[in-house]
Amino acid sequence: MSGLNLDEFATLIERPDPDTRREAEERRERLAPRPGAFGRLDELGEWLAAAQGGVPVKPVERPKAILFAGDHGVASLGVSAGPAEGAYALVRATLDGESAPAVLARGSGVELRIVDMALDCDPELLPADVTRHRVRRGSGRIDIEDALTAEEAERAFRAGMAIADEEADSGTDLVVLGDLSVGGTTAAGALIGALCGTDASVVTGRGGAGIDDLAWMRKCAAIRDALRRARPVLGDQLQLLATTGGADLTAITGFLLQSAVRRTPVILDGVVSAACALVAQRVAFRAPDWWLAGQSSGDPAQAKALDRIALNPLLDHGVTLGEGTGALLALPLVRAAASLAAELPVRS
């Protein structure tokens, strides 16, 4: 389908260093609080040490929140409760510091980056650094047509890889991943349903903003039709993303895989990042070792994807918004785990 050879990721991606993890576990046993006293924070500290390749673990000092943005043609069916202006309204509010992810990032002292992959708006309405990776204006309506052409899918995937390299090269030591999309959860449900072999009703959630029963039925029908189109291309992950994903989801998948190549840990947010993670796992089975699931969003498709990837969410507070909020809420927990593992004295 393209010049990309996704099989190379399976060779390039290595697991976080197991010897370092064992060393971190041994060090934890010598800390003053008894082993197990911090529950899952011990596991997080050991995971971070292995990802960093050293003991004791270093504090998370340069995290970055990255939100991939895009509109999806399937939203025209009334499957989303997103703003009428499309994802542009979500991006504008975030750039203006007036959205939930902007507030949480600001409160945590985390730099926030927005990447426009397929917003349905005039690019001149947004800063050039936001729009420079845009592939197209809105992704196709996946129930009746491909989301992307083959060329667009490759461009989006390579854009995600390039962004992962930019962040690794700039010193980002942990990525908080999210999306700003309208219709994205429908595409995510179709991807997860196809890869898990389930019916549409099993993977149809109510979205971050919540939809009523009629909209849920429309969304279920759209996913059903998208699944019919997805199943014949399950053997080609890039073609699957082109058929039933979209530019933002394709870029996120490329980003996740290249971040694993570059040994950059990532906190996943909701169902969109979970869907991309599931696709990426099919490409390289070791890649999920570099990811954490920030929170349970209550979306059935997210739960099914995370179960397949064997990731257990850090938080479950009933937060359904998406937009990176769940991953941002989990960040202080990860930072606390790193601080405890790094700073508590070892018993003599």
Catalytic residues: 323
Q: Residue 343 is encoded by which pair of tokens?
A: 């700073």
Q: Which residue in 205, 188, 180 sits closest to 91, CA to CA?
A: 180
CA distance 244 to 233: 10
Q: 93: which residues sit within 8 A by CB, 6+ positions away?
A: 99, 102
